[in-house]
């Protein structure tokens, strides 16, 4: 695992679905078959599944009843975090597709 700040880190590493210190992106180098790559694949599946469940839950909450300010704030925070994770997965997969990996 490599915590990087280069100009084009995706050129030689896979963006991982978690961040390092101070929210910096983390990357792994390799052929995509190692332990860290398999762990990243598993975490991405969980993140995407949770995002789908959160979308369903948000839809139910928003059509079911009027939310309090606190409930709406909490929902917005959860949706924002989920969107951040899904965006990271999409960037990682997009980079691997464009590099042929």
pLDDT for the residue numbered 37: 95
DSSP 65: S
pLDDT for the residue numbered 8: 60
Helix (H) or strand (E) holding 2: strand 2-3
What number is the average pLDDT over the span 56-79? 94
pLDDT for the residue numbered 6: 47
- Domain ranges, ordered by start, for the chain: 2-98
What number is the average pLDDT over the span 3-8? 49
pLDDT for the residue numbered 71: 94
Q: 101 falls in which pLDDT band (50, 70, 90)?
A: low
In this model, does residue 5 exceed pLDDT 60?
no
Query: Given strand 25-28, what is the order of strands in its sheet?
Result: 2-3, 25-28, 14-19
Q: Are 2 and 15 in contact (CB under 8 A)?
A: no
pLDDT in tens, 13-63: 899 999 999 999 999 998 889 999 999 999 999 999 999 999 999 999 999
- Which two three-digit tokens encode residue 56? 């369903």
Collapsing DSSP to helix, strand or coil, 4 comes out as coil
- Which two three-digit tokens encode residue 62? 């928003």
């Amino acid at each position: 695992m490599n915590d990087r700040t280069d100009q084009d880190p995706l050129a030689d590493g896979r963006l991982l679905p978690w961040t390092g210190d101070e929210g910096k992106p983390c990357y792994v180098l390799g052929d995509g078959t190692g332990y860290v790559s398999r762990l990243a694949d598993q975490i991405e599946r969980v993140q995407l599944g949770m995002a789908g469940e959160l979308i369903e839950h948000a839809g139910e909450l928003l059509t079911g009843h009027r939310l309090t300010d606190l409930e709406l704030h909490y929902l917005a925070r959860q949706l924002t975090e989920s969107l951040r994770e899904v965006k990271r997965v999409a960037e990682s997969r997009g980079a691997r597709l464009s590099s042929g990996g």
